Structure 1
Amino acid sequence: MPTEVILPKVDMDMATGQISRWFRKEGDQIRKGEPLFEIETDKAAMEVDAPASGTLRNVTGAEGVDIAVGAPVAWIYAEGERFEAAAPTADAGRPDVEVDSGSVTPNDAAMLAGRAEDILQETPVVAGGERRGVRATPLARRLAREAGLDLSTLTGRGPCGRIGREEVEEAVASARRGAAAPKPEAAAKPALAAALPAPASVPAGLAEQPSTASAPRTVPTDAPLHAAWLREGAGTPVILIHGFGSELASWRPMLAEIAEAMPVLGLDLPGHGGSVDRVASGFDDLVAAVEETIRAHGIASAHLVGHSLGGAVAAAVASGITLDARSLLLVAPGGFGPDIDTGFTDGFARATQEPAVRAWLHHLVADPAALSDGFVRATARARADGRQASAQTDLGHRLFSNGTQHFDVRRLVGELSIPVKIVVGAEDRVVSARHFAGLPGRIALHIFARTGHMPQIEQRAEVARLLRELVR
């Protein structure tokens, strides 16, 4: 029999939730474990995976409306199973549609189902005179509640009119000035800096964001770490933090998959890349150096992305007071379990010649073909003078020993209220995928088959997609 897809309970006190986005549509062929839809509550947003493989049918869960926990939102039919169209249900967030069953053919039913989709897109759902189905991020909902703002009065600029933090902040700033909120986004940012107090988590002097104009951004000379704007653009910046033995340039292959003109800042950790001469005494020193660099750039809020060691650092920065983190994307992050392959960390740290560098890089991926010869040669050239080998060998001994990690960020991430996505390779030989079992349900965990410790290379299109979902 077909597999029922229900709206799951992701919070202890959750009675209803909203589907903010379907990743697949009626009639699509899907595989078990693939992301099926995104569910949104007042506290968090997370992706729900398909419980079975087959054909997606009877998609009755509408986007952007309240749905009761446990209500069916779709069915998955296995190959060869007979499909019978189901009537939309109120519990799944759809309006009742009356149909004369005696005069409807199967083709007519399909046409009516399509028309029901059109109706849902054209008409807001109304119950008891109250408008429902307002699309908004969890953070926007919380800010609106705190400010006593009616979300139904706002127009969202996100996908399908989704309301985000910026629209709420603009409306609050407008109310405080006693005038209409400025329309152009470029004009709204300076006004917000003047009209709204700095977030409680941001030190004085950091409330104002870098200019949203696409003009080249200045790089401060007093920052403790080397950093570079990998992409110019408008809006809240994305900060990329690489893993052990890598450098900021390693993110470029993934950035090629991102078409949006979002501002992207890459950092080199102490002992790496352009920060090779910066010494760190341990994990806390790494975090402090990153925070000081963010402060030097005048960045008040940002989306954080971190890989491996950089993922643990990004998690610690997100939980601190220096930055107002909007979201967190962790790629094969460290700090979620005790063990690590110190054979790799020791071996790669010492590697300076191309054959050794190539062998250790291949240890990081499930398929060596995922790494181009150009990528391997560039990595080897950067390590040929031995400076990084010396610095990383010393740093590695401070961070790892006897197969263990000397830092833990699992609790910090579990306490965050921002959207968090974790991307893991099922064949990771450096940090085991088992480390990520038992995380809170509001954290979206994506485990990719036939993928090792570098999902941003091996699954770069998918990782880029996940990043776009966080920053939109």
Structure 2
Amino acid sequence: MATEIILPRVDMDMATGRVGAWHVSDGETVEKGQPLFEIETDKAAMEIEAPASGTLRITDPRTGVEMPVGGLLAWILAPGEALPEAVAQEAARSPSETQAATTGTAAAQGPSEAPKAPAEPVAVQNAAPALAGASTAIADNNDTPRATPFARRLAEQAGIDLNEIAGSGPRGRIQARDVQEAAPAKAPETRGPALHTPTPLSGAAQRAWLRRGNGTPSLLVHGFGADLSSWRPLLAAAGEAGPVLAVDLPGHGRSPLESEPGLEALADAVEAAALAEGLDTVHLAGHSLGGAVATLLAARGRIGIRSLLLIAPAGLGPAMNPDFVAGFLRAEGVASLEPWLRLLFARPAALPASLAAATLRQRRENPAMVESQRRLAAALLPDGTQAVDIRPLLASLSMPVKLIQGLEDHILPWRQVLGLPGTLALHLFADTGHMPQSEQPQAVARLWAELRRAGTDLH
């Protein structure tokens, strides 16, 4: 059955939004989880992925135009399907004609008549010619450089023309790092930490500024098997959180594992990334393995840590679910990976539909990733045991610390958070698993904001 693609609501206050760019042309075949387009609002910009596999038929190809939430943008058709005839004819009209016709029809009907719903998808042999206008509009829009939303924001802030940048991403797509590398000669005179020109440092983890703004930056460290994009649900709920830098741990995302695996080496890479961005004071947050890394960074004291947020951190006891790591690393397809990913959440339905496909796609693009993560697991989680212990480190910390833990964590036993120093604020969430930042984003965002304020007030 045909799948509608609409302009989604990406935050609670959103009423309208804009399509920043389409990544797929009309008539192309797409896979579930593949990025389709970028949506831009006053608060955020993000990619929207395909909810199903099939052939993409774009009915509204416009970009940069304010549209209401729920507006129809495209359909994904299964093999042998075609657009409903009425929809195909509508798609062949220009956006201005469509808007005028809609306005005129609404006026003629009067306020009491509701518009008719589109017909169910039926076989239409000549649907492709009917969408010629949409295909042409996409082709005309190809003059706009392909770039991620974050790269576009960086370029706008630094006054850089994207047409002058060669993209290093898939199909020549411009990434944030491409803009950062082009920024030194064109950066604004007045700039905060988020506009610092990166300094190459050997062993530094790859990183990306997920937010720009004023104030003390936040530094985010993800967990085992994830990457820096795992923080996006929390940031979507956080509203104005100031500048936010996230890193890819070595062996994850875009960061290669270049040294012997160990907690010290991971902390070194994150520390080098922060220093490369000119950061000497941050609000620090870490999830799972990243929580252990963040705790070690805080205890070292080489970077000023205003506050420390730990979400389901590793290193509080030896017990863990050894089957998860083994199954996660062994899986080679969606069918074998999804059952393990579901264990991250208290409710299996909370698993994002595209997570397995995105993880596998990342592995295909970086064949060394799985072996690197196996080496990390062997060093840090030998024989299914947590070999790191952050309890003594936590006892030595003086900055405000919050620890957030789900009571239905299937990866690390929640009871390991008991018996920690009384100066640490412990927040236990029912009906929540190993991913509180994704399962309870609003509540975690509120606690994080409180913690940052507390850390700022002390200085």
Does residue 341 in structure 1 map to residue 321 in structure 2? yes
Give the 3 Å change call, closer, same or farther, for CA 211–298 of structure 1 in structure 2. farther
Does residue 405 in structure 1 map to residue 405 in structure 2? no
Select the residue among 415, 436, 459 that pairs with 2:396.
415
Does residue 353 in structure 1 map to residue 333 in structure 2? yes
The separation in 2 between residues aligned to 1:265 and 1:273, in whole angstroms, is 15
Select the residue among 441, 447, 453 that pairs with 2:434.
453
**AA matched with 1:431:** L
The separation in 2 between residues aligned to 1:426 and 1:277, in whole angstroms, is 33
**AA matched with 1:383:** R
Q: What is the CA-CA distance between 1:380 and the residue it aligns to?
A: 2.5
Select the residue among 210, 222, 234 that pairs with 2:201.
222
The separation in 2 between residues aligned to 1:280 and 1:422, in whole angstroms, is 29
Select the residue among 302, 325, 344 that pairs with 1:364.
344
User: Residue in 2 aligned with 1:240?
Assistant: 220
Q: Give the secondary structure class of the aligned counterpart of 1:275.
A: coil
User: Residue in 2 aligned with 1:444?
Assistant: 425
User: Residue in 1 aligned with 2:258?
Assistant: 278
Give the 3 Å change call, closer, same or farther, for CA 278–463 of structure 1 in structure 2. farther
**AA matched with 2:317:** G
Does residue 469 in structure 1 map to residue 439 in structure 2? no
Q: What is the CA-CA distance between 1:361 and the residue it aligns to?
A: 0.9
Could you report, residue by residue, the CA deviation over 1:8-44 in whole angstroms, capped at 9, with x for unpaired residues?
Answer: xxxxxxxxxxxxxxxxxxxxxxxxxxxxxxxxxxxxx
User: Residue in 1 aligned with 2:211?
Assistant: 231
**Which residues of 2 match residues 33-112 of structure 1 at below 5 A?**
none
**Which residues of 2 match residues 46-445 of structure 1 at below 5 A?**
213=192, 216-222=195-201, 224-385=204-365, 386-445=367-426
Give the 3 Å change call, closer, same or farther, for CA 393–415 of structure 1 in structure 2. same
The separation in 1 between residues aligned to 2:313 and 2:289, in whole angstroms, is 6
**AA matched with 2:301:** I
Q: What is the CA-CA distance between 1:261 and the residue it aligns to?
A: 4.6
Q: What is the CA-CA distance between 1:322 and the residue it aligns to?
A: 1.4
Q: What is the CA-CA distance between 1:215 and the residue it aligns to?
A: 6.8
Verify the 8 A CA contact 2:316 2:389 in the aligned structure 1: yes
User: Residue in 2 aligned with 1:188?
Assistant: none
Q: What is the CA-CA distance between 1:253 and the residue it aligns to?
A: 1.3
Q: What is the CA-CA distance between 1:397 and the residue it aligns to?
A: 0.6
CA RMSD in angstroms, aligned pairs only: 1.9
Give the 3 Å change call, closer, same or farther, for CA 247–211 of structure 1 in structure 2. farther
Give the 3 Å change call, closer, same or farther, for CA 249–303 of structure 1 in structure 2. same
Tell me which stretches of 4 or more aligned residues in structure 1 moved more than 6 Å: none
The separation in 1 between residues aligned to 2:355 and 2:317, in whole angstroms, is 29
The separation in 1 between residues aligned to 2:308 and 2:356, in whole angstroms, is 28
**AA matched with 1:309:** L
Point out where structure 2 has 5 or more consecutive residues left out of the alignment: 1-188, 454-459
**AA matched with 2:237:** E
Give the 3 Å change call, closer, same or farther, for CA 243–298 of structure 1 in structure 2. same
**AA matched with 2:434:** H
Q: What is the CA-CA distance between 1:211 and the residue it aligns to?
A: 7.3
Q: Give the secondary structure class of the aligned counterpart of 2:237.
A: coil
Q: Give the secondary structure class of the aligned counterpart of 1:471.
A: helix
Moved more, 324-333 or 402-411: 402-411
Q: What is the CA-CA distance between 1:350 and the residue it aligns to?
A: 3.0
**AA matched with 2:201:** D
User: Residue in 2 aligned with 1:160?
Assistant: none
Q: What is the CA-CA distance between 1:212 and the residue it aligns to?
A: 5.8
User: Residue in 2 aligned with 1:203?
Assistant: none
Point out where structure 1 has 5 or more consecutive residues left out of the alignment: 1-209
Verify the 8 A CA contact 1:329 1:421 in the aligned structure 2: yes
Could you report, residue by residue, the CA deviation over 1:403-438 in whole angstroms, capped at 9, with x for unpaired residues?
Answer: 311111111112211110001010111111111111
Q: What is the CA-CA distance between 1:347 and the residue it aligns to?
A: 2.0
Paired residues, number:
263
Moved more, 405-414 or 340-349: 340-349
The separation in 1 between residues aligned to 2:439 and 2:413, in whole angstroms, is 17
Verify the 8 A CA contact 1:212 1:233 in the aligned structure 2: no
**AA matched with 2:289:** L
User: Residue in 2 aligned with 1:197?
Assistant: none
Q: Give the secondary structure class of the aligned counterpart of 1:412.
A: helix
Could you report, residue by residue, the CA deviation over 1:330-349 in whole angstroms, capped at 9, with x for unpaired residues?
Answer: 00000111112222122212
TM-score for both structures, normalised by structure 2: 0.55
Q: What is the CA-CA distance between 1:318 and the residue it aligns to?
A: 0.5
Give the 3 Å change call, closer, same or farther, for CA 440–261 of structure 1 in structure 2. closer
Give the 3 Å change call, closer, same or farther, for CA 280–351 of structure 1 in structure 2. farther
Moved more, 246-255 or 292-301: 292-301
The separation in 2 between residues aligned to 1:430 and 1:261, in whole angstroms, is 29
The separation in 1 between residues aligned to 2:428 and 2:374, in whole angstroms, is 30
Q: What is the CA-CA distance between 1:376 and the residue it aligns to?
A: 3.2
Verify the 8 A CA contact 1:455 1:463 in the aligned structure 2: yes
Give the 3 Å change call, closer, same or farther, for CA 212–302 of structure 1 in structure 2. farther
Give the 3 Å change call, closer, same or farther, for CA 413–464 of structure 1 in structure 2. same
Q: What is the CA-CA distance between 1:449 and the residue it aligns to?
A: 0.7
The separation in 1 between residues aligned to 2:190 and 2:387, in whole angstroms, is 38
The separation in 2 between residues aligned to 1:258 and 1:460, in whole angstroms, is 8
The separation in 2 between residues aligned to 1:211 and 1:349, in whole angstroms, is 46
Q: Give the secondary structure class of the aligned counterpart of 2:354.
A: helix
**AA matched with 1:400:** L
Verify the 8 A CA contact 1:366 1:427 in the aligned structure 2: yes
Could you report, residue by residue, the CA deviation over 1:58-81 in whole angstroms, capped at 9, with x for unpaired residues?
Answer: xxxxxxxxxxxxxxxxxxxxxxxx
Verify the 8 A CA contact 1:352 1:384 in the aligned structure 2: no
TM-score for both structures, normalised by structure 1: 0.53
Give the 3 Å change call, closer, same or farther, for CA 461–402 of structure 1 in structure 2. same
